[in-house]
Amino acid sequence: IPVLQTNNGPSLTGLTTIAAHLVKQADKEYLLGSTPEEKAVVQQWLEYRVTRVDGRSSKDDIRAVLKDLNSYLEDKVYLTGYNFTLADILLYYGLHRFIVDLTVQEKEKYLNVSRWFCHIQHCPGIRQHLSSVVFIKNRLYTNSQ
């Protein structure tokens, strides 16, 4: 569990807590959502990241996560709908280690996740040290849905 020692005040513990703090420090509060609804949705997916994606998640757990996300993202560009937020960034980071291992067939199966993931990794400054995951644009398996 990460700990951040801030310059003025007590230290902070926990990935999403620290991330939200840094976002505010960088004057990018829009990344936490702008309406009450968006703010709550962002925090919900941040919680989802640390409870469902992190930890000792089994293959089955991850498959369930991908299935749910795929269904959720069917009509959305970003996790909150139309705005890019911290939830997209942290979920992208959390899922990266699983997405790199997906087969081409699986990537097609979770088509909406793949679209979203590919989009996020190309947002400027997001990918950092992580490897770029290759997605094929034309579908190979027509029955994969």
Q: Which residues bind another protein (CB under 8 A)?
A: 1, 3, 5, 7, 9-17, 20-21, 32, 36-37, 39-41, 43-44, 46-48, 50-51, 64, 67-68, 71-72, 74, 81
What is the spatial distance between Cα 102 and Cα 125, in angstroms, rounded to a whole number?
24
Q: How far is the CB of 132 from another protein (least distance, A)?
A: 28
Q: How far is the CB of 74 from another protein (least distance, A)?
A: 8
Token pair in block for residue 68: 């749910």
Q: How far is the CB of 36 from another protein (least distance, A)?
A: 4
Q: Which is nearer to another protein, 54 or 132 (CB)?
A: 54
Name, in order, each residue with C-beta under 8 angstroms of 22's C-beta and a sequence gap of 6 or more.
4
Name, in order, each residue with C-beta under 8 angstroms of 86's C-beta and a sequence gap of 6 or more.
19, 20, 23, 31, 32, 42, 46
Q: How far is the CB of 28 from another protein (least distance, A)?
A: 14
Q: Tell the residue number behind the tokens 């990537």, with chain if given.
A: 107
Q: Which is nearer to another protein, 71 or 132 (CB)?
A: 71
Closest CA relative to residue 107, chosen from 119, 97, 99: 99
Q: Which is nearer to another protein, 36 or 125 (CB)?
A: 36
